[in-house]
Structure 1
């Protein structure tokens, strides 16, 4: 009898089972492109082993979404067909990521586009979607679940949100490959404890400690890895290089055929090999990034405001610091890194509560608990918001003095 699946060895989940219809998507060049997009963009320059990619993360999300689906199937909530759809939505949730992952997102957000827009386009209007249709799957439904806007809210939440397969895999995987000890989470306990109440994803109260631990792990990973000052130094350089070169190369134009060619190394080599006189600065930044000649952080401040500084404000700061330090504006970099301490719901609104299920004497009751009432989680709720000023080594002292003078009173 012919085997209809393949087991892929994975350091996080041991084995990830992939079925024939999924393998035909994974083997498609559009999906294979994810092998050439690092999960953590420039973090490998600080954490050398962080070379993992969107490819294996996508497999991991499919795997955890499948575990969650099976747990809900055993409780009579999902059908077998629903699990298949969940698996495919998890597999394809990152298909629209551009080079350098969230760095590229920072650029395209300025044009009111997101990786989800590219993802929808790829699933609906490429060979990926044709493949889904050929195997009798509803590509529109899979797209809606993958990007959090289907009518089945609990299925959206399994892929993205505070109890999502996406977050569980990236915390485990990023923690493993960076060596950070903060990301130990009991994802199996959480997935086995999932339930549904009034079409929303819920959690058995007995797993609340595991949820608290996961939220704390995420918070620590942002502080120690994602917003690490040296990680951001590398990323700030790349963002600037991409902005400077975008008019020339059209990296962020919404053209699917061009977009699927974009990978980390393709973009970096395009920047470095450019001979355009207009791109001298972008070329130098890309070369310095590749050679790990990184910017130096001369000022850091944790802000209490909930939103990152608008580009006009960062431009103003850059100008003020330039005048005071007498260092050219293009030698000064203002970085405002912000994230909600608790992950956003699929609706992109802040998660305010969690539904807990309590079972006693064979009866179940549900309670919607505000995040503010969960001690460990409430302590970190709000926004993590860090303002930093970077410059090159030789300007360090002058820019530092100017930044401290100007930003001393900033709240």
Structure 2
């Protein structure tokens, strides 16, 4: 059994009490337990452990949660596997309260736990770094509503024979699991808990990423939020009035973590660089080329070949290219730069919190200037993105007041109402041999923010 080293199985019919740092956990018959750095022991049923034992789920052990963030924060070695278990555990706690309150039944709760467990099953090697490539490659096929890895997760749940067989054997329809993840499930109370401004995904990754990077900004009062969290009959997420301060800390933590970790200029530069390397490897390596088409991706998903496509797999592809006399010299140079931490540098950087999503966009102009100055266009990388911090009316958190009124969190909290709605990032990077030339060119033609790192 794949879980033997990590999970403790309590023999059926036994009743066990185990000591661990932070407290005592009592486990009854037929349960698996795994120790988590944030929550202590996480308990899973025998059925849920079967999903974790699939080769495609075990693959998440070998995909880092924060891609290349360990190049800046050496402790950021945690995985999608740990995050998925964390989201499952938070989902279990929330949905148990809903069952006790009569909001949902046991079958709906079990389905919700499965959806939480599988929400990130579609991540490819190095997580969001490789998504840069696929968003450009499939931009006409990907809606604004879902990220590439989310679409791939939905596809895996529907098409991967190994996953489908387990889900069906547990008495559930894979389409129902996907409906929960896409927000189209008939029970809107559950969909909002898995995808909204204040969902179990964010409640796990903010403190988890903060813990492993050592960045204190992401710490939140999770217990207070869970204690005051509820769902209204119409599906909207709500908290009791006494939980407002905890939710305020959650929103502020998001702002800081996006600035300090998720869009840290060095991390983003290396992620773009890896996406560039991946694009070049796709042209050279037939096995990677297969993954560049929807048909190829569906094939490796259906036959579970995707279970070997992880960080180590892509790393080995890069090492093979370095040793291959026929590999393009340019890609070999870039791979060597990545492995030696000699990636691109920021030469133009605008990152700001704003209420206006329509910011001035100068990156294209900067690129034109650099090319005119003799900087090789192939050596230029551009990041341009707008992150929305407060959701739409359907996604935003609501507050249930002492008078039983339901009002948006933006009305209940002056702090949240004054927070910026967007984080706008526009950066231009160049490979190191062009940094001095690029900075001189930019100084001559623009008064916008530029940085020499």
Whether these two folds match at TM > 0.5 is: yes
Task: Give the one of 279, 285, 297 matched to 2:334.
Answer: 285
Aligned counterparts of 2:134 and 2:411: Cα–Cα separation in 1? 33
Q: Between 315-324 and 27-36, report the one with greater CA deviation.
A: 315-324
RMSD, aligned α-carbons:
2.4
Q: Residue 256 in 1 paired to residue 298 in 2?
A: yes
How far did residue 238 of structure 1 move? Answer: 0.6
How far did residue 49 of structure 1 move? Answer: 0.8
Task: Give the one of 254, 259, 268 matched to 2:315.
Answer: 268
Q: Is the 8 A contact 2:70 2:77 kept in 1?
A: yes
Secondary structure of the structure 1 residue equivalent to 2:293: coil
Q: Which residue of 2 aligns with 1:23?
A: 49
Relative to structure 1, the CA distance from residue 149 to residue 252 in structure 2 (aligned partners, 3 Å threshold; closer, same or farther) is: farther
Secondary structure of the structure 1 residue equivalent to 2:102: coil
Aligned counterparts of 2:360 and 2:89: Cα–Cα separation in 1? 37
Q: Which residue of 1 aligns with 2:280?
A: 244
Q: Residue 382 in 1 paired to residue 404 in 2?
A: no
How far did residue 226 of structure 1 move? Answer: 0.9
Q: Which residue of 2 aligns with 1:85?
A: 111
Relative to structure 1, the CA distance from residue 301 to residue 60 in structure 2 (aligned partners, 3 Å threshold; closer, same or farther) is: same
How far did residue 308 of structure 1 move? Answer: 8.5
How far did residue 315 of structure 1 move? Answer: 5.5
Relative to structure 1, the CA distance from residue 117 to residue 81 in structure 2 (aligned partners, 3 Å threshold; closer, same or farther) is: same
1:259-408 → structure 2 map (5 Å cutoff): 260=306, 261-274=308-321, 275=324, 279-302=328-351, 306=357, 314=363, 317-324=366-373, 326-342=374-390, 344=391, 353-360=396-403, 365-369=404-408, 371=410, 374-408=413-447
Q: Is the 8 A contact 2:220 2:250 kept in 1?
A: yes
Aligned counterparts of 2:395 and 2:35: Cα–Cα separation in 1? 37
Q: Is the 8 A contact 2:363 2:426 kept in 1?
A: no
Q: Residue 230 in 1 paired to residue 266 in 2?
A: yes
Aligned counterparts of 2:388 and 2:326: Cα–Cα separation in 1? 40
TM-score (norm 2): 0.81
Q: 1:228-262, CA deviations, whole angstroms, 9 ceiling, x for partnerless residues? A: 11111211211211223334432332223435132
Q: 1:46-99, CA deviations, whole angstroms, 9 ceiling, x for partnerless residues? A: 000101111110000000011111222232212222221111110000011111
Aligned counterparts of 2:134 and 2:242: Cα–Cα separation in 1? 41
Q: Which residue of 1 aligns with 2:60?
A: 34
How far did residue 269 of structure 1 move? Answer: 2.3
Q: Between 107-116 and 158-167, report the one with greater CA deviation.
A: 107-116
Relative to structure 1, the CA distance from residue 42 to residue 355 in structure 2 (aligned partners, 3 Å threshold; closer, same or farther) is: same
How far did residue 192 of structure 1 move? Answer: 2.1
Q: Between 29-38 and 400-409, report the one with greater CA deviation.
A: 400-409
Task: Give the one of 105, 110, 123 matched to 2:157.
Answer: 123
Q: Which residue of 2 aligns with 1:5?
A: 31
Relative to structure 1, the CA distance from residue 158 to residue 352 in structure 2 (aligned partners, 3 Å threshold; closer, same or farther) is: closer
Provide structure 1 residue ranges, at least 5 long, that are not aligned to the other structure.
none
Q: Which residue of 1 aligns with 2:21?
A: none
How many pairs were matched up? 398
Q: Is the 8 A contact 2:236 2:395 kept in 1?
A: no
How far did residue 121 of structure 1 move? Answer: 1.9
TM-score (norm 1): 0.89
Q: Which residue of 1 aligns with 2:84?
A: 58
Q: 1:347-369, CA deviations, whole angstroms, 9 ceiling, x for partnerless residues? A: xx586743211245xxxx23232
Q: 1:93-129, CA deviations, whole angstroms, 9 ceiling, x for partnerless residues? A: 0011111112222222220342222212211222112
